[in-house]
Structure 1
Amino acid sequence: MQKVLPLIVSLFCCVFFYVVIWNRIQGTWTGSKELYNVVLKSAFIWRDRHETTEHVTPATRTHTLSLSSRNTIKSAVKEHVLDSLHHVKSHQVAPLGNQNLTDSVTILPVLYRKDFEKLPEWDFEDIYMRNNEERHPVCSKFLQKSEDEEFQAAIVPDIQLWLHRGHLSIREWNRLSHFNNPFGFMEYKYNDVKSAVDLIPKPKSTQLLPVPERAHDGCIRCAVVGTGGILSGSRKGKEIDSHHYVFRMNGAITKGFEEDVGNKTSVYVHTSYALVQSVYNLNPYGFRGAPNDEGIKYVLIPEGLRDFEWVQGLFQKNIVKKGDFKGIWPLRFYGRQIDKEKFYVLHPDFLRYIRNRFLRSNNLNEEYWHIYRPTNGAFTLFLALHTCDIVNVYGFITADYHKYFNYYFDQGVKTSVVFFINHDYNLEIQTWKKLHDSGIIHLYQRKEDLKET
């Protein structure tokens, strides 16, 4: 008993001093929210934001491309969530060799989507990784020279497009872990994502597509082709293929539909889920996997952890060892071979930038905020806008979508377009029309084009 009593007294003293010293700062009681903000803004997260393979500079907060009056979404942080954050022991990680850090860095506790009633908006919500290897095109029709003031206010020409090896320092992880997928890494564990990202080589050039030799005016002309039924019977195939480059996504069936949609694919944009589901669902139409045109570039949208598990399996030429695609061999979906140098993964900052500045939906104010994201087609279109000088868009949803099949490859009975809750199709309809009317893109609208002919 004599040995136990001093131990009890010592423990009591430790607890007492912890409560008094830790919680009482400058004579005032500090709640968990204040403590979290102190951690969030401390130097171990934000000191020297240039410790990446690209030059990183904070973006100036500018206006979004608004299509209707929307209230700015304010932070909705539950106090009990913040309490739980500060009672979890932080995991200390040794500094990475290529970061030249002098101290260890702390991984922030995991944030969970269920603990936010609507989109949480942080002070750094509209700050993005930037790239100092920005394009300097000579094309007189360069889209980013648009006279549309709203578009110019929203566009970030040097936004970082690609996620690759060297990007996930602990500081960058801490920043991106505040955003739900595909806009960040909320709910994920650092090692689960980093092990995949470290396999992705840094592109030899930040420019996805070079200026073709035959482009005497220096302009890159691109077609972005969706799968909308508006293309059925359009006879736009030759026009589409006449572009320097053609972007396609998801179930990009061309065989048997060449007259309407062409057969050239230069860039194929997809998620692992979209590719797998397209192969299974569209097998009767002859879709066996991703297009494999000579010189094709593959672009993956990392919408969830399964995409990083997919990348590991793909680059290591193994079957996926865990998760949604456990037991699947990704390589077979790309013709059993792939050039890592031609496989790109979009950076979460680029995806969040598109959502925040161009496709900010009112759905973000609802309890299902975390499942909303722009469509794969939307991300593809904006990727083209950041890659090409002249962009013509085909097969995207228009206001008269009800007149057409859901997909151009639908046969027989007319199918209806289903507006899934994870996308805001009405917002995309308005956005494509606005970009078209502003001269930023040319959107194929069947009624208009038929009048022209």
Structure 2
Amino acid sequence: MRKVVPLVVSLLFCTLFYLLIWKRFQGTWTGPQKVYSAVLKSEFLWRLDQGTATILAPFLELSSNKTTKSAVKDILPSPSHVKSHQEMLSGNHNLSVDITVMPVLFKKNFSKYPTWDFEDVYLKNNQEKGLVCSQSLWKSKNKEFQAAGLHNIQLWLHNGLLNISEWNRLSHFNNPFGFMEYTYNDIKPAVDLISKPKFPLLFAVPEGAHDGCIRCAVVGTGGILNGSGKGQEIDSHHYVFRMNGAVIKGYEEDVGNKTSVYVHTAFALHQSYYRLKKYGFSGIPKNEGIKCVIIPEGLRDFEWIQGLLQNSRLTKKNFVGVRPLTFYDKQFEKDRFYVLHPDFLRYVRNRFLLSKSLNLSYWHIYRPTNGAFTLFLALHTCDIVNVYGFITEDYKKYSTYYFERATKTNIVFYVNHDYNLEIQTWKKLHDSGIINLYQRKENLNGT
């Protein structure tokens, strides 16, 4: 009899759960993955009680891309009092919600990129950019760009934006597009240290810009700039974006001397410091008022962020003993340090650089290059964007980097990027008038 009672209770619960799902989908079975998504997104499992609700973390296998029970671990012991994902995206914060953290998802359990019903859902800021510039790229008549672009996409990750509800949503996406395989306690301490930017955009319209247009140059490290003589032209822009191993000293005639924004990952900055010393790289450019933007590509970046903002040495395996602050300017200020939001990174990939690599077994290592993310950051910050030192169709004519003057090296197409897709995308944006891509004139004339 003692064994029968629990069995009956379990059957009743399962029957109730089944009826709720059936009612929700009005008699149509939509498959386990959609049910899983509905559990996260809908209200049919909420228990309303004096303005407080609880949503249970689901425990389901995901259609053909199954997440097995062995992958469900590292669950936090207790829920936190937070707002729901639906409420956050809608801007309605009247309902308090207790949400249980969902089970960890593992990349190895998906044979290709898993897509979700909320794949193309992104946070947006509530302060839209005033488009006073008549020449703004956001006033382009290109229908494809207008359909894909979100000029009010949330650019920055900072404290106040990561609660368990948001964690559950972002845990479905692999890094740097989300937090798959990580735990809440891996990431939350670092995010809580990141100050909310005073303004949603990097720059205001400069006083000297009488037409209201913000003009920006995005400068890559491509060998196409070697001997270009574009330095003065680059420096004439209101703001200049650079990334990774931005070697400047001795190359000013070709790449300019001005830097307004430096974009990097922890790995790129750390490696550039040691690998490019012989070319003169000693850290980020030393320009007054420079803004540093980090792409959080993995757990090591959040460890780096925590060490940087606490001015401490790192103790984890990626950068043991390293003090991140030593790689930055002595005048480093926290309010000039920005972290790109995973939603922005996923939006760039999904809407502009969606590679066929996502259908292959190594889907989880594909992501756009740091230069690509920098270019799209500029597109969402500036009105007029001129691009230098990026890969073009005739890349084989140039060395990998502009600072390689003594010998010519061949560009290596690493499997974690889709260089051919980026070549096509930059040309497409150029031909559409969205950007102006620097290409060697002699090669455009076929000589």
For the residue of structure 2 that corresponds to 1:435, the secondary structure is helix
* Contact map agreement 2:388 2:438 (CA 8 A) in 1: yes
* Contact map agreement 2:132 2:212 (CA 8 A) in 1: yes
**In 1, Cα distance between equivalents of 2:256 and 2:323:** 29
* Contact map agreement 1:251 1:275 (CA 8 A) in 2: yes
For structure 2, which runs of at least 5 residues remain unmatched after alignment? 23-28, 48-60
Opposite residue 145 of structure 2, the aligned amino acid is: F
- CA positional deviation for 1:439: 0.7
Map of 1:41 onto structure 2: 41
Is 2:7 the counterpart of 1:16? yes
**In 1, Cα distance between equivalents of 2:309 and 2:72:** 38
Summarize the Cα distance change of 1:88–1:270 in structure 2 as closer, same or farther, 3 Å threshold. Answer: closer
Deviation string, structure 1 residues 288-339 (Cα, Å, up to 9, x no partner): 1111200100000000011111110000000112241122100000034420
* Contact map agreement 2:71 2:106 (CA 8 A) in 1: no
For the residue of structure 2 that corresponds to 1:269, the secondary structure is strand
Opposite residue 39 of structure 1, the aligned amino acid is: V
Give the ranges of 4+ consecutive aligned residues of structure 1 lying more than 6 Å apart after TM superposition: 27-32, 44-47, 85-90, 97-100
- CA positional deviation for 1:34: 7.2
Map of 1:355 onto structure 2: 349
**In 2, Cα distance between equivalents of 1:343 and 1:44:** 41
Opposite residue 273 of structure 2, the aligned amino acid is: V
Is 2:320 the counterpart of 1:320? no
Map of 1:408 onto structure 2: 402
For structure 1, which runs of at least 5 residues remain unmatched after alignment? 1-8, 48-74
Opposite residue 317 of structure 1, the aligned amino acid is: N
* Contact map agreement 2:80 2:164 (CA 8 A) in 1: no
**In 2, Cα distance between equivalents of 1:292 and 1:150:** 39
1:122-161 matched pairs, under 5 angstroms:
122-161=116-155
**In 1, Cα distance between equivalents of 2:129 and 2:34:** 42
| TM-score, normalised by the number of residues in structure 2 | 0.87
2:98 to 91, 101, 104: 104
Opposite residue 43 of structure 1, the aligned amino acid is: E
Map of 1:192 onto structure 2: 186
**In 2, Cα distance between equivalents of 1:356 and 1:303:** 16
- CA positional deviation for 1:380: 0.4
**In 1, Cα distance between equivalents of 2:149 and 2:318:** 35
* Contact map agreement 1:227 1:252 (CA 8 A) in 2: yes
**In 1, Cα distance between equivalents of 2:45 and 2:277:** 48
Opposite residue 210 of structure 1, the aligned amino acid is: A
Summarize the Cα distance change of 1:37–1:133 in structure 2 as closer, same or farther, 3 Å threshold. Answer: closer
**In 2, Cα distance between equivalents of 1:170 and 1:365:** 29
Summarize the Cα distance change of 1:282–1:46 in structure 2 as closer, same or farther, 3 Å threshold. Answer: farther
Summarize the Cα distance change of 1:451–1:37 in structure 2 as closer, same or farther, 3 Å threshold. Answer: closer
2:252 to 258, 262, 269: 258
1:48-447 matched pairs, under 5 angstroms:
77-78=63-64, 80-81=66-67, 91-96=77-82, 102-447=96-441
Deviation string, structure 1 residues 52-71 (Cα, Å, up to 9, x no partner): xxxxxxxxxxxxxxxxxxxx
**In 2, Cα distance between equivalents of 1:93 and 1:256:** 56
Deviation string, structure 1 residues 48-93 (Cα, Å, up to 9, x no partner): xxxxxxxxxxxxxxxxxxxxxxxxxxx9844641555789977431
* Contact map agreement 2:266 2:300 (CA 8 A) in 1: yes
Q: Provide the aligned C-alpha RMSD in A.
A: 2.8
Summarize the Cα distance change of 1:114–1:325 in structure 2 as closer, same or farther, 3 Å threshold. Answer: same
- CA positional deviation for 1:140: 0.6
**In 1, Cα distance between equivalents of 2:20 and 2:137:** 57
Summarize the Cα distance change of 1:87–1:378 in structure 2 as closer, same or farther, 3 Å threshold. Answer: closer
Opposite residue 387 of structure 1, the aligned amino acid is: T
* Contact map agreement 2:32 2:63 (CA 8 A) in 1: no
Summarize the Cα distance change of 1:157–1:37 in structure 2 as closer, same or farther, 3 Å threshold. Answer: closer
**In 2, Cα distance between equivalents of 1:110 and 1:368:** 20
**In 1, Cα distance between equivalents of 2:44 and 2:289:** 43
Q: Which moved more, 1:34-43 or 1:127-136?
A: 34-43
Count of aligned pairs between the two proteins: 416
- CA positional deviation for 1:254: 0.5
* Contact map agreement 1:309 1:323 (CA 8 A) in 2: no
The sequence identity of aligned pairs, in percent, is: 63
* Contact map agreement 1:32 1:86 (CA 8 A) in 2: no
Opposite residue 427 of structure 2, the aligned amino acid is: K
* Contact map agreement 1:92 1:104 (CA 8 A) in 2: no
- CA positional deviation for 1:132: 1.2
Opposite residue 20 of structure 1, the aligned amino acid is: L
For the residue of structure 2 that corresponds to 1:383, the secondary structure is helix
Deviation string, structure 1 residues 107-141 (Cα, Å, up to 9, x no partner): 11111111111111100000100111111031111
* Contact map agreement 1:203 1:341 (CA 8 A) in 2: yes
For the residue of structure 2 that corresponds to 1:92, the secondary structure is coil
- CA positional deviation for 1:41: 3.0
- CA positional deviation for 1:285: 1.3
Summarize the Cα distance change of 1:262–1:198 in structure 2 as closer, same or farther, 3 Å threshold. Answer: same
Opposite residue 186 of structure 1, the aligned amino acid is: M
Q: Which moved more, 1:381-390 or 1:77-86?
A: 77-86
**In 2, Cα distance between equivalents of 1:164 and 1:88:** 24
* Contact map agreement 1:77 1:120 (CA 8 A) in 2: no
Q: Which moved more, 1:322-331 or 1:160-169?
A: 322-331
Map of 1:68 onto structure 2: none
**In 1, Cα distance between equivalents of 2:379 and 2:73:** 45
